[in-house]
Chain A
Amino acid sequence: MNFLKMGPVVLALFMAMGSVPSYGAMVKVGLMEEPKTLNVLGAKDIWASKVLLLSYQRLYYKDPSGRKLVPWLASDEPVWDPETKTITFHLREGAWDDGTPFTSEDVVFTAELITKFRIPDYWNNWNFVQKVEALDPRTVRLHLTKPMATVWERTLTSVIIQKSRWKEIAQRAERLLEDNLRSQEAAGKSRSQAYVAALAKPLELLTSYPVTKPESMGPFVMQQWQRGAYIHMRRNDNFFALNKEIDGHKVGPHVEGVIFKIYANTDTAILALKKGDIDYLWWGIESGYLEDLRANPNIRIYSSLKSGYRYLGFNLRKAPMNDAAFRRAVAHLVDKDFIVQRILHTQGCRLDTVVPPTNPQYCLHNPPLYGNSMSWMERVEAAKKELKEAGYTWEVEPVAGEIAGQFKKKGGGLKLPGGLPVPPLNLLTPPADYDAQRAQTGNLIQQWLRDFGVPVNWRPMAFSALVKKVEAERDFDMFVSGWGALGHDPDYLRSFFHSRADVPEGKNACGYRNPEFDRIADLQVETMDQREREALVFKLQEILMKDLPYIPLYVPMNLEAVRADRFEGWVEMPGGIGNLWSFLQIRPKKR
């Protein structure tokens, strides 16, 4: 009984605790997960990249339009010399947060560390760099093994780490590498095999090295990371661009610091935004929350197309997906405008090529539009025509109805050109709780194809299981998946569709093989002239949209919400307002 009498006392105590002081011009940002690590060499998750964006800087950075690179740690445009295959540029004067000067030695050290230890995620962007030379403390020269166009968008936009901070751990990793290499070679392995095997431990040392306070050349410096609760970064008074003008933009930061708060579920994060516990939720908002948020005068919604897309992929190793006529017939039937209207509720746009429209420089302007401006009946007829011309037959031929998606007579028993029935096909998608739009799109495509006579079974499954089926086991017929934030450089087309990538764990999951595509893909990446490269990339898209290993479906909208009554000056870039420029421009709103 005594215990029970304590109840009201305990409740009153809990309620009496809550006065929380306000905390100046700190922008409070909600994250949906905690960074896995703040070791920039080991960080792979998007949460770490958001936090580290404010510390680690790059030689060149996208301007707010997202269309051109501006010198950032570098002070001028890079100069390419085709004769010597070198790129030369100069560095700005600046210092790390501990006051150590930033010099070309930091750039050389970063490049050597990445190439020697083949740091995953970075090495791909540096493996064609033969040598990096510090001509003087402010001048750097890159020697390439061959011309590589990705050097602009990927190598020169790699983060730079501080030599003095990483030197000791790098030396330990190097000693470990040498020891391992000797024992691997003694075991009879060839030099290259021994090197790959010897890398495992030193790589683990480097990527697992605990970093709680990353060094900073950026606008903010890590102050405190309370695991599971928040990350506090204060303004970096040594920031090289503080109060300067870069590419016509006056640069801050104009806030005292940033506090990242971790929320494990969207509902609570949205309530926190409405309550004013956070100023910006750095995560896309589902359209279901829009009405509620728009009703709040203190909240502003920003919407922009994502820099990725969703697509329907085929397994080209199996019939009938190995037949371009079948894929084109499916393309005629898939009504992308319907998907955008009914599933995305217009929060997105249709896509007809494999480079998203957020990349206008490389996005093909006039791709073939399957079924575009056709009525539903015309779409079905066009699909039937494709298949009939290729020799397919039906036991029951479908007849389209007048209403979109409807059939007067449903098709059945589609037969391959040889007369064999089309086997039951699976269509994999992530489940609705992972991505409702992709799941619903899969369901819709299943319905259209079934009514057309193609025996398709939609199978939603855990996303990691889908990735394993598609990328590791190649055990699928069709799948609806997507690419998240694709960078500006279009060389990902080579990763996704080159026949060299059609290997276990390779990204060419569809098994697309076209020697002409391979030739142009290899050529474009070695073409340093931008106009020539654009033309080649357009050609690649034309080939892909004729062969259709993917049917591009749509680009979803990225919806983001901020407290309009607290800060102003958010910068909209392709992909959203969560970018470095925003954190350099926002300032407390004048009341």
Chain B
Amino acid sequence: MNLRKFLLVRSGQIVVTFWIILTLLFVLFRLAPSDPLSVVADSLMSEEEIQILKAQFGLDEPLHRQYLLYLWNFIRGEFGISFHYRQPVVEILGDRLPKTALLFTTATILYALAGISLGKILAWYRGSLLDSGMSFLGLLTHTFFLPWLALLLVWVFGYKLGWFPLSGMISPEIWLDPESGFLAKFLDVLHHMALPMGVLFLTHFGGYMLVMRTTMLETLREDYILTARAKGLPEKVIRNRHAAPNASLPVVTSLGLSLAFSINGGALTETIFSWPGLGRELVASVAHGDYPLAQAAFLFIAAFVLVANLVVDVIYAYLDPRIRY
């Protein structure tokens, strides 16, 4: 199968998968044991006011009509108005998504790069004290309960030592100061990112490091590494140019999917650090029965992951000449 045909087949599969997700989401939200009106309606509202609200949100229509309207709106790119924010869903997602992407994509790149680099070194010095110590540390931090670690870091570095802000993304004191320039604001955001990124780094780098270490150890046993040594190539070149690129193939798959999933953020991290991102919003919208917002957020994540899968497949073919579609 050539690449063009492969892409066409996979795109068709993606469309069908997406339609199934679309339908499942519709059904699941309607089956959820919460009533969206119960949160919107006030205790003193009359029945007539509640009926008006129902009509306003389209909740007075029968389910099949709601479904058809939902599909039709999706095709037109209409995601509706959030029940809670009374604001177009697209605007809300557009506001939250960059904030989540900034924190989680940066963190993912950082911990993946660190994990890959460390894994490569540990495999090279296998059996050494560095290897044992770092492998143990990687396992330990990988098993930390994220909320506990996050609160601990907030308490130590935010409250006790005062090195970092406790939470949030920006300091009003800096952003309201007319003398603050771009650099001050940029540094302020970085300062706020430090603790949540630290938590994400500590809980995730170990996974990449250990996977990379294992695949690197396997690669180092390959014949072509022996050949490279026989040719008299320097050790650094053998490690970085010959072994590492091949060993990193499984890690690339994992990194690709992690980057795709990073847009959904982490509800726990975002809640503890009051980071105004998509993950927190997603959980809140589900809890509140805010169908339009929750559905759109899930659809967006699903679309992103499906496309990312396709991209990873294609990248794989470029990285590994043995793979052909």
Cβ of A264 and Cβ of B166 under 8 Å apart?
Answer: no
Question: Which residues of B15-64 are within 8 A (CB) of A?
Answer: 33-35, 37-53, 55-56
Chain A residue at smallest Cβ distance from B191: A17
Tell me how far the C-beta of B284 lies from the nearest C-beta in chain A, rounded to whole angstroms. 8
A259–B163 Cα gap in the complex (Å)? Answer: 22
| 22 sampled A-B residue pairs with Cβ under 8 A | A14-B190, A14-B191, A14-B194, A18-B162, A21-B173, A21-B177, A42-B86, A44-B84, A120-B45, A121-B49, A199-B55, A204-B81, A232-B172, A263-B274, A264-B271, A267-B272, A268-B154, A271-B155, A464-B34, A464-B287, A468-B35, A471-B38
B118 within 8 A of A: yes
Cβ of A123 and Cβ of B49 under 8 Å apart?
Answer: yes
Q: Which residues of B contact A259 (CB under 8 A)?
A: 172, 176
Q: Which residues of B contact A271 (CB under 8 A)?
A: 154-155, 158-159, 166
Known contacts: A200-B55, A229-B170. The answer to whether A275 contacts B162 by CB under 8 A is yes
A120–B40 Cα gap in the complex (Å)? Answer: 10
Cβ of A464 and Cβ of B38 under 8 Å apart?
Answer: yes
Q: Which residues of A contact B159 (CB under 8 A)?
A: 271, 274-275
Residues on B lying within 8 angstroms of A by beta carbon are 33-35, 37-53, 55-56, 81, 84-87, 95-96, 99, 113-114, 117-118, 121, 151, 154-155, 158-159, 162-177, 187-188, 190-191, 193-194, 270-277, 280, 287-289
In the complex, given contacts A36-B85, A127-B46, what are 18 additional A-B residue pairs having Cβ atoms less than 8 angstroms apart? A13-B190, A14-B190, A14-B194, A39-B86, A120-B52, A121-B49, A199-B56, A228-B277, A229-B276, A261-B168, A264-B272, A264-B273, A267-B154, A268-B274, A275-B159, A464-B39, A467-B39, A472-B38
Cβ of A264 and Cβ of B47 under 8 Å apart?
Answer: no
Known contacts: A200-B55, A264-B272. The answer to whether A21 contacts B164 by CB under 8 A is no
By CB atoms of chain A within 10 A, which of B113, B191, B277, B287 has the most?
B191
A465–B154 Cα gap in the complex (Å)? Answer: 34
Contact of A505 among B47, B162, B276 (CB under 8 A): B47
Cβ of A124 and Cβ of B44 under 8 Å apart?
Answer: yes
A526–B196 Cα gap in the complex (Å)? Answer: 58
Cβ of A18 and Cβ of B166 under 8 Å apart?
Answer: no
Question: Which residues of A176-232 are within 8 A (CB) of B?
Answer: 196-197, 199-200, 203-204, 207-208, 210, 224, 226-230, 232
A208–B147 Cα gap in the complex (Å)? Answer: 36
A506–B50 Cα gap in the complex (Å)? Answer: 9
Cβ of B191 and Cβ of A203 under 8 Å apart?
Answer: no
By CB atoms of chain A within 10 A, which of B34, B117, B193 has the most?
B34
Mark contacts of A457-490 with chain B using CB atoms, 8 A cut-off: 1 yes-contact digit, 0 otherwise.
0000110110111011000000000010000000
Tell me how far the C-beta of A350 lies from the nearest C-beta in chain B, rounded to whole angstroms. 23
Tell me how far the C-beta of B232 lies from the nearest C-beta in chain A, rounded to whole angstroms. 22
Tell me how far the C-beta of A458 lies from the nearest C-beta in chain B, rounded to whole angstroms. 17
Contact of B95 among A227, A275, A504 (CB under 8 A): A227
Cβ of A4 and Cβ of B118 under 8 Å apart?
Answer: yes
